[in-house]
Amino acid sequence: MPRRRGPSPEQIRRRRAAALVAIALAVAAAVTAIAFALPRVEHRHAQPPPAPPPPKPFRIVFPEGLTRAEMAVRVRDVARIAVRERHKPVALDERQYLAASRAAAVPCFTPRRWTNLEGFLFPATYDFLNTTTSRQLVRAQLQAFCQNWNRIDLAYARSKNLTPYDVLKIASMVEKETLAPEERPLVAAVIYNRLHDHMPLGIDSTLRYGLHIPPTQSILESQLQSDNPYNTRKFAGLPPTPIANPGLASMQAAAHPAHVPYLYFVRKPDKVHHFFTASATAFAQYECAHGYGCGG
């Protein structure tokens, strides 16, 4: 039989070249497949699941003129409502609020450290979470106080030899004595004028504060004779501390009283506005005519 001849060297080269091309095409196809697959995998892992919405805060409102003790009661009441609505405990607590608001540093005041924060706990609306502590709430109130207090021009008060703390005391009395906003500078003027004339201020809200007399309860004659240092009917000068926590409008009025000669004021029958006068006789006549007593 004739002997079969093997492939020629040229055929071997061609076959090897074809095999290399086939291998190259297979590798290229595999790389392309991986390249198309990777972006989908990366895209799938690059987008984490959406974060849960932040918890909705609660809200506590402190009206102007509340005392520190009244603010603590409001903290207690709002905390109870928050627990009832969300069925979760809250960190705010009446006793802890009283402890946190007893003493602290007030950055915008001199001295910075105060052992009685009455007057410095700014009345406003504050948001809080379940985890908000009473100390954090007090810190927010002090920050709000400084933001507002820094807007007060004390030049006129200083010209009358009044300290910033004196102005804060006056602001607290203005807050407690006025319901009509336009009367704030007038009440402040009465206080300035009486201080200038060395007259007792005669403001019953200071005695109510000192003796813890509710606003709905009449002041007794024996209480009017009390030696309590907040009895401004008996003792001349300002009370030892503010008697409430005033808002910005009362602070401004205390720093900028009206330039009027009034020394007396008494509430009108509408229980909102006051009758103001510089005359003791006119004051007595008004009181007598409106059933406040005659001959006093």
Phi, psi values for residue 242, rounded to 5°: -60, 155
pLDDT for the residue numbered 10: 67
When pLDDT is averaged across residues 67-74 and rounded to a whole number, the result is 97
Where b means 16+ CB within 10 Å and e means fewer, 67-80 reads bbeebbebbeebbe
Q: Which of 7-11, 110-114, 134-138, 192-196 has the lowest mean pLDDT?
A: 7-11
pLDDT for the residue numbered 296: 46
Residues 117 and 79: beta-carbon distance below 8 Å = no
pLDDT for the residue numbered 83: 92
How distant is the alpha carbon of residue 100 from its chain centre? 14
Whether pLDDT at 41 is above 60? no
* Confidence grade of residue 215 (pLDDT, cut at 50, 70, 90): confident
pLDDT for the residue numbered 36: 54
* Confidence grade of residue 49 (pLDDT, cut at 50, 70, 90): confident
Report DSSP letters for 67-134, one per residue: -HHHHHHHHHHHHHHHHHHHSS--S--HHHHHHHTTSEE-TTSSSSEES--TTTS--SEEEE-TT--H
When pLDDT is averaged across residues 142-166 and rounded to a whole number, the result is 97
For residue 5, count other CB atoms closer than 10 A to its CB. Answer: 6
Whether pLDDT at 5 is above 60? no
pLDDT for the residue numbered 29: 60
pLDDT for the residue numbered 295: 57
Whether pLDDT at 96 is above 60? yes
The β-bridge relationship of strands 264-267 and 274-277 is antiparallel
Residue of 215, 195, 218 lying closest to 205 (CA atoms): 215
Where do the domains of the chain lie? Answer: 58-149, 155-289
Structure tokens at 131: 């985890």
When pLDDT is averaged across residues 1-8 and rounded to a whole number, the result is 56
Max Cα–Cα distance, the chain, nearest Å: 158
Distance CA 32, CA 34 (A): 5
For residue 288, count other CB atoms closer than 10 A to its CB. Answer: 13
The number of C-alpha atoms within 13 Å of 218 and in the hemisphere containing its C-beta is: 4
Three-class SS of residue 193?
helix
Whether pLDDT at 45 is above 70? no
When pLDDT is averaged across residues 1-15 and rounded to a whole number, the result is 60
Whether pLDDT at 81 is above 90? yes
Whether pLDDT at 27 is above 60? no
